[in-house]
Chains A and B, each alone.
Chain A
């Protein structure tokens, strides 16, 4: 869908309209600033990290003396220089490795020098002596009592009240869901399908690698510039970890060149701050190479899932039992919340009366597992959606029909005992089956190819602590253009555009008058918990709406007083205050700064209009640690469906995805075309994720930390058609009913593809990644 070019256009009531992105001209001219583009002057130093070559080892000795001798080197820092850990939900990660390293690539030291080249050379001269320890890579193995213990001090780590680590083991979180009685339900099932599903670690692969610049002033003020989804969360974690008062630590983030969750928490940024402390007064720049991005930032956790689901002869789901073992990597800070979220949503988008779920996060000697688009949902839907297809097959029901019958509906009591808020997943299923031509698949394009269709549905709730807040400030300029200040970040998903639309709509000004721009700066921007969880349209949107309404109220009150009219008879439309009774008009220009004069200029009223607003959900409750039951586990769910049409070349195993149809219940499409762009990008990301895997040798060393051997979807791999659609069942507390969708769009693509491959070949793949090789060898194995 094309949009008009931004310039002299004038769009009223923009919510619901596909207005042009607010940041698009900056980005097509190359003038949008990212962290590596920022200039810090001639006093800038550069840093490189020294990384562990072992997956698990004691650090016996570390000697930086040779590094320090290199001309141009200003400082070297090791784990011995600081005794600080960092974390959000579980404070388990040292900034530089202390007495041991726990994954290949873990930073053990950092070197600061006048150039990156010198820092790199000096880093090579840091001598580290290790004593290797037995390592463990499989999460199920690692959860066993006899596994090598990665965190003997687990019991001493600070942990959020809703996370339950098991000290003395590698289990950093165990979420339990108990509803009804699965044991007595199995006998009542006409069909039961059980399966083990394995997913490897994969990486976000943002096209912009991580980067950070930190400056520790002699005054004690600390500034961190970084590509960040969550400047305020990063400030909070780093402040706590290093003992810096929050007011003395400033985090500034320019545009983010792709986040996908990888830039949500703290990974390499705190290293930059610690290194800056060693060279006070000098900005220190630390940037990740692409190779470091793969294994030295964060990844999506691996998963081993044992899942068993049963239904009766009519196809009603009766029981589900599941165990999720997430391979959280060396440090499980975010991972524990992912395991928790997977636990309280473990059924997938289904109404199942009897559920036994155990979701574990387990330490493994691998790169750090953390938030990645979907936050546990893509991982668990991989198995769930394949089992659902198998159940449907066993009882002789169409897979789409099976899902229509069993999917969660408004008002259902879901697995945690919460009542399902209003959504319409059946409508989403209907839309995608219609769009893909469900049941009427086309002919294969050649005799050696097989055509297949597959469907998968999903749900996801924002996985957050119970009290994540958003706030916003609306400030006018003399010409009545206005700046909306938010702490939410533009990652490409369109957050700035949505903020502008919401502000314009709530105020009554044209969309084109609104300015929302980078950077987010904790010193000046109002607080935003994090730009994650697909929560921004909803939460930030509410805050911006409130701020705009606050400004609007101030404006109307002033003009009502000035006109001696009732404020209820006034409105703001197209940037003017109008009266429905007297039909007078008052333009906003100048008035929003200078106020209005009294009669005969006997004094003035008003002044600079500043609107403020905030939003924080108030209704999320605790969950019982033994059963996972509680009044309100999450704020809401977004649901959706995807159908895939593909072809498999049986001679090579290559898969060509011909079409993907997606539909999501977004509550209210604030910007329909932006939603389409998320759907398209998500479908391709989801498709790509089915074929991606980080590979390691038996010693835990990465085998493919580069774009040569970790391949992501290219322009040639994209399906001919991605058909996107949405349903609008309003979210009760969403701005105009809007709900987020940024992650949901890629959650179920991989199992939809697996289901389509099964339709084409009659072969199931329980383990990711898919590949032409795997498919071919499976075909050969079957025939051979």
Chain B
């Protein structure tokens, strides 16, 4: 009913290699949970929804804490990299500022020193802050399991609220963000009950870039958070934006598509009616601001 004091008993194991992790998962099955920063896991354990007998700490595996930006202009973020590390990393700030912005919007500074991108993605809350931006940045998640390593587009990773394609014996090791189209600009807008520090009631990630194949001369990618069971890209909005010249008219049309695509619920944080209106609002604002960046204003 009400959360219990402290954490229930479990055995903590610090995994040495990814194969160790796989072995532990195979051995303990449902009784094992992987641990990153613990900010979601511990809350779940106090609430009684997570009852692992074994907690496997995977933060210290080789590469899990690395941020690597390579010559092919690709960013690889280890799954155990914290939100603060992402937000303050010079390469992320320089080349993927949208990711830095989203990471920096999570909770508080203290929480951001522990919360990890891998944990955020694997927890797959509909209001997770790194999911919409990972979708519009078209990142791939890197998973490791008994069959070795596999890579999956983020869009295929999220299968339901709190559900992912992560296999029972798998862990996430990294997220790979491809090179962005030249001239890309992005914005992550998050509406909470307080100005900052809250979970998202509605969130919108927008990425825009010049594209002379598109009739409008630009392409936009739009993802919505907290308004559906799974964070989603709004392809209908993206089509509208590819067709129509950037401006208030096109943005309003795209926002309506976003509203169509959203299926929010009433919950203790907000009503569906408000969320629908805010999807419209934030989509328009996001597009306006990205357009402002693209134009250099």
- A residues contacting B by CB (< 8 A) are 48, 51, 53, 105, 116-117, 120, 287, 289, 291-292, 295-296, 651-654, 656, 691, 695, 703-706, 708-709, 711, 714, 716-717, 771-773, 776-777, 780
Contact = CB atoms under 8 A, between A and B. Distances in A.
A747 to B, nearest CB: 23
B193 A771 contact: yes
Contact of B2 (A289, A651, A777): A289
B231 to A, nearest CB: 20
A38 B285 CA distance: 53
Contacts of B198: 711
A709 B269 contact: yes
A704 B274 contact: no
Contact of A711 (B5, B6, B193): B193
Contact of B5 (A287, A709, A777): A287
B6 A117 contact: yes
B197 A714 contact: yes
B194 A709 contact: no
B191 interface: yes
A756 B226 CA distance: 31
Contacts of A714: 194, 197
Contact of B199 (A48, A656, A708): A708
Interface string B189-204: 0010111111100000
Nearest to B271: A773
B3 A291 contact: yes
B281 interface: yes
Given A117-B9, A289-B2, A716 B273 contact: no
Interface of B: 1-6, 8-9, 191, 193-199, 268-271, 273-274, 277-278, 281, 285
Chain B CB within 10 A, most for which of A53, A292, A714: A714
Nearest to B7: A117
Given A651-B281, A716-B194, A716-B197, A289 B273 contact: no
Given A120-B4, A120-B6, A711-B198, 7 more contacts: A120-B5, A651-B285, A695-B268, A703-B268, A773-B271, A773-B274, A777-B274
A677 to B, nearest CB: 23
Contact of B3 (A105, A289, A709): A289
A704 B268 contact: yes
Contact of A716 (B4, B6, B196, B269): B196
A711 B197 CA distance: 10
A105 B2 contact: yes
Q: Which 4 A-B pairs have the closest CB atoms?
A: A773-B274, A291-B2, A703-B268, A291-B3
A780 B6 contact: no
A292 B2 contact: yes
Contacts of B194: 711, 714, 716-717
Contacts of B191: 652
Contacts, number: 64
A695 B5 CA distance: 22
B28 to A, nearest CB: 21
25 contacts: A48-B5, A51-B2, A53-B1, A116-B6, A117-B6, A120-B4, A287-B5, A289-B2, A289-B3, A289-B5, A291-B3, A652-B191, A652-B281, A705-B2, A708-B199, A711-B198, A714-B194, A714-B197, A716-B194, A716-B195, A716-B197, A717-B194, A717-B195, A777-B273, A777-B274
Contacts of A291: 2-3
Contacts of B274: 653, 773, 776-777
Nearest to B3: A291
Contacts of B268: 695, 703-704, 709
Nearest to A293: B2
Contacts of B197: 714, 716
A716 B108 CA distance: 11
A116 B6 CA distance: 9
Contacts of B285: 651
Nearest to A52: B1
Contacts of B3: 289, 291, 706
Contact of A776 (B4, B9, B277): B277
Contacts of A711: 193-194, 198
A773 B271 CA distance: 8
Contact of A652 (B2, B6, B8, B278): B278
A301 B1 CA distance: 23
Contacts of A691: 193
Nearest to B280: A651
B113 to A, nearest CB: 18
Contacts of A708: 199
Contact of A772 (B6, B8, B193): B193
A780 B269 contact: no
A105 B194 CA distance: 28
A772 B277 CA distance: 12
Q: Which among B194, B197, B273 has the greatest number of chain A C-beta atoms within 10 A?
A: B194
B285 to A, nearest CB: 8
Nearest to A123: B4
Contacts of A709: 268-269
A654 B201 CA distance: 13
Contacts of A777: 271, 273-274, 277
A489 to B, nearest CB: 26
A298 B4 CA distance: 19
A657 to B, nearest CB: 11
Contacts of A773: 270-271, 274
Contacts of A776: 274, 277-278
A473 B269 CA distance: 52
A296 B1 CA distance: 12
Contact of B277 (A48, A703, A780): A780
A211 to B, nearest CB: 11
A145 B48 CA distance: 41
A209 to B, nearest CB: 10
Contacts of A706: 3
Contacts of B281: 651-652
A289 B4 contact: yes
Contacts of A771: 193
Contacts of A772: 193
Contacts of B199: 708
A43 to B, nearest CB: 20
Nearest to A105: B2
Nearest to B195: A716
Residue among B5, B6, B195, B271 with max Cβ neighbours from chain A (10 Å):
B5
A115 to B, nearest CB: 10
A691 B278 CA distance: 19
Contacts of B4: 120, 289
A725 B1 CA distance: 46
A457 to B, nearest CB: 29
Nearest to B282: A652
A127 to B, nearest CB: 15
Contacts of A53: 1
Contacts of A289: 2-5
Nearest to B281: A651
Contacts of A116: 5-6
